[in-house]
Amino acid sequence: MAIYDYKAKDLKGNTTTGAVEASSEMVAADLLKERDLIVLALSERKRKTLFQTSLGFLRRVPRKEIVVFARQLAVMISATVPIVKALRILTKQTENVAFKIILSEVADEVDGGARLSDSLARYPQVFDDFFAHMIKTGETTGKLDEILNYLADQKEKDYDLTSKIKGAMIYPIFILIGLFVVGAVMMIFVIPKLTGILAEAGAELPISTKMLIGTSNFLQYYWWMIIIFVIVVIALYRIIARTEKGRMQIDLIKLKIPIFGNIYKKIYLTRFARSLSNLIASGVPLSRSLEIVADVVGNSTFKDLTRQTIKEVEDGNSIATVFAKSKIVPVMVSQMLTVGEQTGRIDKILNKLADFYAKEVENLVANLVSLIEPLIIVVLGAGVAVLVVSILLPLYSLSTAI
């Protein structure tokens, strides 16, 4: 099915524009005639939309925008406002340029006869497969407003969790950046003047002082090599991340990083459990639910485990089979999945798992911040000690000798 943009006149002679979904241009023209429209212009919309071809910085739509969109659309639909009119209203209210373009195009497509879920699915960068499939469930059951509220709640939970993590890490990151900047200024501008005095005096310098002078000279005269190195590392990372094997290795390394790996793991488990719980509770078949979750979990390792689970489920085995064998997934997950299958309450069990791991992530981040603060003090103290041993003590020895 393709999308055709049209310009037509109605029976009153008013010119109208919009979009219609059809298998061919002829079918699109017939659909417009059935609506008593006289076609003036009709053209197939290119697969690449304005949103997809715009500049990279315009493509990003904050999660908060999606939460607000789902909540407001739910309110208007429950108030019996037609979907197309509701989408037009939300388009005018939205300040984000990229999101405004998307909603405008979605409104045109729905006005042309397309289903809301199909239109949203055309923008996977904003509305993931989970979101689109839940909307389709709401359209099928006639409970679209309830599903939208449900989606808004879940997206809000994800947004709150991410915001808490970012908020907790702002302070230590700010301190570390400050230390780096101060250290760089000291090494480039202050240390050379102090070491210059020692060099002119011809005194025998300790190893620590020589190392400090070497580091300072390198930063003074070869700082451009550091910039080139950083650019090369970032470029290599992006190239590797674009390949399937590279992406899998990067995602596996994320899970094995000390301290941070445990946080990543629990974030992915929260996302997996919550998404699967919502889909199963909405009546989506287990195999199809697992397919959707595999694409939205956000980690190649968990995606591979989920796809293996699909094969096990289709073969009539337990959903917990693959997870029980994995060294990455905690034993509690497979045990809870088994209990959920046996009791027929797997959606509720998964929801409890999601809440548990979400709380675990919050506690881990809070503990990490508490641990980083004294570590920063230790690093600062070590830096001061190095300066005292390498610069101040030789200067003091020189002054006493004079």
Residues in Cβ contact with 97 at an 8 Å cutoff, skipping those fewer than 6 apart: 58
pTM (2 decimals)? 0.65
pLDDT tens column, 66-121: 888 888 888 898 888 898 899 999 988 888 888 888 888 888 888 877 888 888 88
Q: Identify whether the C-beta of residue 364 lies closer than 8 Å to the C-beta of residue 298.
A: no
Phi, psi values for residue 231, rounded to 5°: -60, -45
Contact 365, 168 (CB under 8 A): yes
Chain segment 217-252, per-residue pLDDT in tens: 888 888 889 899 999 999 998 898 888 888 888 888
Q: What are 264-308's pLDDT values in tens digits?
A: 898 889 888 888 888 888 788 888 888 888 877 878 889 899 989
Output the CA torsion 235→241→243→248 (10° steps): 150
Neighbour tally for 308: CB within 10 Å: 17
Residue among 285, 339, 293 nearest 313 (CA): 285
The CATH label, of 1.20.81.30, 1.10.540.10, 1.10.10.10, 3.30.70.260, for the domain at 56-154 is 1.20.81.30
What does the DSSP assignment read for 268-282?
HHHHHHHHHHHHHHT
For residue 402, the 8-state DSSP code is -
Domain boundaries, given as residue ranges, for the chain: 2-45, 56-154
Q: In the chain, pLDDT over 70 holds for what percent of residues?
A: 91
Q: How confident is the model over 309-349, as pLDDT tens digits? A: 999 988 888 888 899 888 888 899 989 989 988 888 898 99
* Burial zone of 90 (CB within 10 Å; 0-12 exposed, 13-18 middle, 19+ buried): buried
Q: Return the structure tokens found at 357.
A: 């791991």
Task: Name the phi and psi angles at 8, rounded to 5.
Answer: -145, 170
pLDDT single digits (tens) 13-32: 888 777 766 656 776 777 77
pLDDT digits (tens, 9 = 90+) for 30-62: 777 877 788 888 887 665 444 444 444 445 788
